[in-house]
Structure 1
Amino acid sequence: MAGGGTSEPPADCAQVADIEVRGERVRFGVVERADTAFDPAADHNRAYVLIGVRSFSLGGSVPGRPESGRAPSRWVEFGTDFVAEVLAVGSAVTTLAPGDRVVPVLTWPPVRPDAVSAPENPGRASRQVQRVHHAGLLRLPPGAGDAEAACLPTAGATAYAMVRRAAVAQGDSVLVTAAGSTTSLAAVQAARLAGGEVYAVSHDGAAAPTLTELGVTRSFSAAEPGDWAELTALAKSLRGFDAILDPAWRSHFRLAAKLLGFSGRYVAGHDPAAEDAAADWAPAAASLVAKNASFAGQRRGGREDLAAAVDDLVSGRLQMPVSTPFRGTDVGPFVLGGLDPHTTGGVTYAF
């Protein structure tokens, strides 16, 4: 669990970390609680499933991050992405069974799973045992590792949706920004599977070896002025990129938009910076309009995008680089690793 400011932790909470998240103090702790009660025969559980989380990642939720809002005055669960085992199913559930492994389907905007149920709260991946509507889960086939799959609900689904929105086709030149994040690493591979020739720009070049292994034609470092000059020259030689996939779009938007070719497609993911983009919009929009280019936002993906990412992971067509999972009281290092923009690949916590 996590709480901000001067909030008091639950009486049974063992505090294990006190860190700064985007300039705000956030404390984390481990709480032992009785398992969630679940009667499969009860009518209110008929469409629900009881799951036990095996591994989770931050995804798009940790108190203190701009997209999650300010750290709360009370202690709450956090994280959106997980891999879980089905423990029990309601009487109307026919697509899942105890023992199945599942991941959440994180749609945007959130929707009601049925006419009478409230939208699911996606920000509670750190709760080990949960009651979840079956419509919000996707069954994992054998062959997907827990740590790798725990990064797919946000990163994999978003990346595959971005490639779909950009209509990447055989022979397209594609630039992926923020390369090193799980979303960008998945986008690199999804774009290559669609037939694109992929280039990448990362924060500091640390992800270059991984990007090369994943088939990127060439990667550039945003921290090196010389690399930006070479990237600009490359774009000019290509007559602009056919598509730009920019998961953290305000990090590179002003400069990257100028690298797009005529009738190019720019797809932006969810922005974690929460900064005022007004200064970026004027020059970037002028460049997009002059090129008859399109700009589309893509926050998360749909069930079909997640299913495609899962299928490619199981078949070996998609690799999801992850670090060794954190466990026990290593909550602070887990959160800091997941928030570090220089981290290459996924960071997970295993129960």
Structure 2
Amino acid sequence: MKAAVNDRYGPPDVVRVADVPRPEPKADQVLVRVHTAAVTSGDARLRAARFPAGFAPFARLAFGVVRPRRKVLGSAYSGVVEAVGSAVTRLRPGDRVCGMAGARMGAHAEYVAMPAEKVAVMPDGVSHDDAAGVLFGGTTALFFLRDKGHVAAGQSVLVNGASGAIGTSAVQLARHFGATVTGVTSGANAELVTRLGAAHVVDHTRHDVTRTAERYDLVLDTVGNLSIKVGRPLLTPSGRLLLAVGSFGDTLRARGNVVAGVAPERRADYEFLLGLVAAGELTVVVDQVYDLADAAEAHARVDTGHKVGNVLLHP
């Protein structure tokens, strides 16, 4: 099968398309023919070994000290079940499914083998692009806002990086739960962020949000430029600072009203998000869609730091 492969760490052009063995599903797995896969900021960081401050030594040990252990990147995907393992009863060939591959990755390819219990069935009316696009940003935003921030109606929420994959989902989810949202983005994306549900928009090219007199019940940083030191002063007395992209030091110091870490990949969360998409309550924002042959260009787009929503691949 064809896959986007990177044999070494580096810039986008280290990614190339090559023939690799097609995976065979184990007894508890399904083989999925991938229709769409997301190219996320996480994929770009792994490709370049560009990790949040302080994490590099530990990440290298996990993912490869000198070169990548996993040569095919890609976590969020959607597709159709091609075959099922002998122990799988919930799914069958032909089912439209989606999920996340976690640390095993491998979704930037024509086929991916996944544990059946981690695969969600896509509702009617949800496209493959929407399914693959909602998972990475949606699960991260849901974990921090709902599970860690306990977002509630009437609260004020600041989303830093409101036009990215996490941010576009976070603005909509916070609004879905009844909060009043302020989005931090560039002026070029202000109309989009407003359309997604933000009551207020701060143009970061003109205003420094850390100098505002406003205080928020929840502050979600999806970019990595709000440290604990500058983020805490933005909170109300009972507020919480949610660091989706925190440095190693801030992650170690995260306690009390500061939360940092990695969002889990749970089928129940996929199903919740897919339900919102199917109901028209969550819009998946897509920046650009690339063929698998142009995977290096997709990585280059992510590396610009200016993508709006999600970058997708069509294997």
SS at match of 1:125: coil
> In the TM superposition, what is the alpha-carbon distance from 1:106 to its structure 2 partner?
5.8
Answer yes or no: is the 8 Å Cα contact 2:157–2:218 preserved in 1: yes
Q: State which of 173, 176, 179 in structure 1 corresponds to 2:162.
A: 179
Partner of 2:223: 248
Answer yes or no: is the 8 Å Cα contact 1:177–1:252 preserved in 2: no
Tell me the alpha carbon deviations over residues 104-149 of structure 1, each in whole angstroms, 9 at most, x when there is no partner: 2467xxxxxxxxxxxxx43211132222221221111121122222
SS at match of 1:330: helix
Change (3 A) 1:310 1:323: same
Partner of 2:56: none
Answer yes or no: is the 8 Å Cα contact 2:157–2:217 preserved in 1: yes
Change (3 A) 1:74 1:243: closer
Separation in structure 1 between the aligned mates of residue 175 and residue 150 of structure 2, nearest angstrom = 12
Q: State which of 111, 135, 139 in structure 1 corresponds to 2:117.
A: 135
Partner of 2:180: 197
TM alignment of 1:92-103, pairs within 5 A: 92-103=87-98
SS at match of 1:207: helix
SS at match of 1:326: strand
Q: State which of 11, 20, 26 in structure 2 corresponds to 1:20.
A: 11
Q: State which of 27, 38, 41 in structure 2 corresponds to 1:46.
A: 27
Partner of 1:320: 284
Answer yes or no: is the 8 Å Cα contact 1:142–1:314 preserved in 2: yes
Percent of aligned positions with the same letter in both sequences? Answer: 24
> In the TM superposition, what is the alpha-carbon distance from 1:98 to its structure 2 partner?
1.0
Partner of 2:19: 32
Tell me the alpha carbon deviations over residues 307-340 of structure 1, each in whole angstroms, 9 at most, x when there is no partner: 2111111111001110341015322220111233
Change (3 A) 1:211 1:77: same
> In the TM superposition, what is the alpha-carbon distance from 1:92 to its structure 2 partner?
2.1
Normalising by structure 2, we get a TM-score of 0.83
Partner of 1:222: 204
Q: State which of 154, 171, 186 in structure 2 corresponds to 1:188.
A: 171
Query: Does 2:259 correspond to 1:307?
Result: no
Separation in structure 2 between the aligned mates of residue 134 and residue 75 of structure 1, nearest angstrom = 21
> In the TM superposition, what is the alpha-carbon distance from 1:80 to its structure 2 partner?
1.3
Gaps of 5+ in 1: 6-18, 39-44, 108-120
Q: State which of 184, 189, 196 in structure 2 corresponds to 1:207.
A: 189
Supply the RMSD in Å over aligned alpha carbons: 2.8
Query: Does 2:306 correspond to 1:347?
Result: no
Query: Does 2:82 correspond to 1:87?
Result: yes
Structure 1 window deviating more from structure 2 (176-185 vs 249-258): it is 249-258
Tell me the alpha carbon deviations over residues 15-58 of structure 1, each in whole angstroms, 9 at most, x when there is no partner: xxxx726xxxx5111113454456xxxxxx33121111111112
SS at match of 1:51: strand
Partner of 1:296: 259
SS at match of 1:343: coil
Structure with the bigger RCO (C-alpha within 8 Å, sep 6+) is: 2
Structure 1 window deviating more from structure 2 (261-270 vs 167-176): it is 261-270
Tell me the alpha carbon deviations over residues 264-286 of structure 1, each in whole angstroms, 9 at most, x when there is no partner: 12222144xx5x657x99xxx8x
Separation in structure 2 between the aligned mates of residue 126 and residue 342 of structure 1, nearest angstrom = 22
Separation in structure 2 between the aligned mates of residue 328 and residue 250 of structure 1, nearest angstrom = 32
Change (3 A) 1:243 1:49: same
Separation in structure 2 between the aligned mates of residue 172 and residue 75 of structure 1, nearest angstrom = 42
The count of aligned residue pairs is: 295
One-letter amino acid matched to 1:214: L
Partner of 1:112: none
One-letter amino acid matched to 1:349: L
Change (3 A) 1:63 1:346: same
Q: State which of 30, 43, 48 in structure 2 corresponds to 1:64.
A: 48
One-letter amino acid matched to 1:186: S
One-letter amino acid matched to 1:63: R
Tell me the alpha carbon deviations over residues 219-263 of structure 1, each in whole angstroms, 9 at most, x when there is no partner: 112232x4537x713x1xxxx211112223444554332110001
Separation in structure 1 between the aligned mates of residue 66 and residue 172 of structure 2, nearest angstrom = 35
Partner of 1:115: none
Partner of 1:336: 300
Separation in structure 2 between the aligned mates of residue 36 and residue 295 of structure 1, nearest angstrom = 41
Partner of 1:122: 104
> Which is higher, the Rg of structure 1 or of structure 2?
1
In terms of fraction of residues, the more helix-rich structure is 2
Partner of 2:233: 258
> In the TM superposition, what is the alpha-carbon distance from 1:75 to its structure 2 partner?
7.7
